[in-house]
Amino acid sequence: MTDASVSKEINLSVMKRGEVLTLAVDSSAFEGKSVARWNGLVVFLQGAVPGDRVTARITKIKKQFLEAEVVDILDPSSLRTEPRCRYFGTCGGCKWQHVSYEAQCRFKRQHVIDSFERIGGFKDVAVRETLGAKETYYYRNKMEFSFGTRWLTTAEFEEHKNATTFEQEWPTALGLHIPGRYDRVLDLEECWLQSELSWQIVNAVREFCKEDDLPVYSTRTHTGYLRHLVLRQSSNTGELMVNLVTAERRDELMRSLCSRLIARFPAITTIVNNVTDRKSMVAIGDEEYVFHGSGTITERIGSMKYRISANSFFQTNTKQSERLYDTAKAFADLHAGDRVWDLYSGTGTIALYVADAVEEVIGIESVEAAVADAKANASFNGVRNCRFIVDDLKDQLTTETRWMSAHAPPTVIIADPPRSGMHGKVVEEIRQLRPERMVYVSCNPATQARDLQLLCADDLFRITAVQPVDMFPHTYHIENVVGLKRTDLLVG
């Protein structure tokens, strides 16, 4: 064992994977890892908490850093807390249940600061305290559970992996994937993420499937029936959707499941069956059959109601979404005469949320079904000053298109791109459009910082506010809202 307190020349060539070091963990790093130093060299640790003193086994040796996994916790950090879930550590759902919520919020804010400094090159940006969630359990309005064969120990798996009857040998599991293993599902009898009712439904569906001995779809043989169970539960209206995703249509069976569930759980407002024969494990159907209710649920955020179907995108934490959208609206500093472009508008939630404060909103989004939802939600809410366009932004947002010349340029741009951030062409076009104000919402501070550096080049825009909002307690993910103003309009 090597002691970190002994300072000596680092000779990486004599270090070996598997060697065990004693380390004092000093800070959090990206993707839920933490950082310790060994003779000045950075060690990224899996499974530790800042403040811990641990022994850790080296898993990777690089010139600039080491990677290691915790073997033993010698002195636990005061930031540790007892995880509530009995599956914590095995399940892929929550990574930070063992860290106090206050510390989680601090780490997430630090992640934003580090991204802005190291990737964006912003040295003096004031990042506000993370807007933490009031409810840190039971906060999700949607959960996707997978059917699979029960998760096996490594030894069991090795013993049976080549058996031709592998899929039939192990009982049906319904739950979440174990980390890094998309072929193994942890059979969950409870989960703290959605609601108590949701895991009761999961257990009832599993029971039904076992009684009927229904086969699980296999990604190895591409046979079987059961693929996913998706539950959507509105936080503000209480409406609840059960969506069974299967590899084929079996109406009689669905009707029987339906009567069982409705009798036992009267809170269920709609039941649908999505059918797909795709080979990949996505919980989306190519055909949808409604067996109970309307096939949609309604969710409310602020004064807006949103109709959500089984395959619609919708933010999964309703309560925090309201705070996220309120922040975006406040940072946009909207006026009655503003023309807002909502880029990457999805199902139009942000566009509709800000519509009452401005003259018009135009949403641009590449997924046709999302735009159809956005239009439906505009009419559902009686909003008349929002329009939605289906297109890829990197083609749409160019000055040559007819669309651009037919519309007055925006005074405000709100962008909420996917994790990969904005295409360079989109950034450049935003700069050409020179909106007075801009709000950039992102679930990935690293790509956001990269894009902001380009947006702010030549002092065209300045960052006016940065607000991390925690949408996913007990995970290392963070949503970040940034307000920008054109520099020539800043007073003083």
What gap in Å lies between CA 180 and CA 163, rounded to an integer? 22
Which of the following is catalytic: 85, 191, 443, 456?
A: 443
Among 28, 77, 349, 480, binds ligand SAM (CB under 6 A): 349
* Least distance CB 349 / ligand SAM (angstroms): 4
> 313 or 403, CB closer to ligand SAM?
313
Task: Name the segment binding ligand SAM (CB under 6 A); options: 12-20, 174-182, 256-264, 411-419.
Answer: 411-419
Binding span for ligand SAM by CB under 6 A among 100-108, 146-154, 174-182, 340-348:
340-348
Among 149, 246, 327, 347, binds ligand SAM (CB under 6 A): 347
Taking the complex as a whole, the smallest distance from the CB of residue 325 to ligand SAM amounts, in Å, to 8
344 lies in the binding site for ligand SAM (CB under 6 A): yes
Query: Looking at 240, 254, 370, 430, which residue binds ligand SAM (CB under 6 A)?
Result: 370
386 is catalytic: no
Binding to ligand SAM by residue 350, rule CB under 6 A? yes
Residue from 173, 174, 191, 393 in contact with ligand SAM (CB under 6 A): 393
Binding residues for ligand SAM, how many (CB under 6 A)?
18
Options 160-168, 332-340, 412-420, 481-489: segment touching ligand SAM (CB under 6 A): 412-420
Query: According to CB under 6 A, which one of 276, 296, 309, 366 is a site residue for ligand SAM?
Result: 366
Which range of residues in 4-12, 56-64, 112-120, 386-394 is near ligand SAM by CB under 6 A?
Answer: 386-394
Q: Does 313 bind ligand SAM (CB under 6 A)?
A: yes
Closer Cβ to ligand SAM, 181 or 425, answer by number: 425
Under rule CB under 6 A, residue 367 binds ligand SAM: yes
Should residue 451 be labelled a site residue for ligand SAM when binding is judged by CB under 6 A? Answer: no
Residue 410, interface with ligand SAM (CB under 6 A)? no
| Under 8 Å between Cβ of 234 and 244 | no
368 part of the interface to ligand SAM, by CB under 6 A: no
- Nearer to ligand SAM among residue 239 and residue 416 (C-beta): 416
Minimal distance, residue 405 CB to ligand SAM, in Å: 20
Q: Of 309, 339, 347, which Cα lies nearest the Cα of 409?
A: 339
Please report whether residue 365 would count as binding ligand SAM according to CB under 6 A: yes
* Residues assigned a catalytic role: 443
Residues engaged in binding ligand SAM (CB under 6 A): 313, 315, 344-347, 349-350, 365-367, 370, 392-394, 416-418
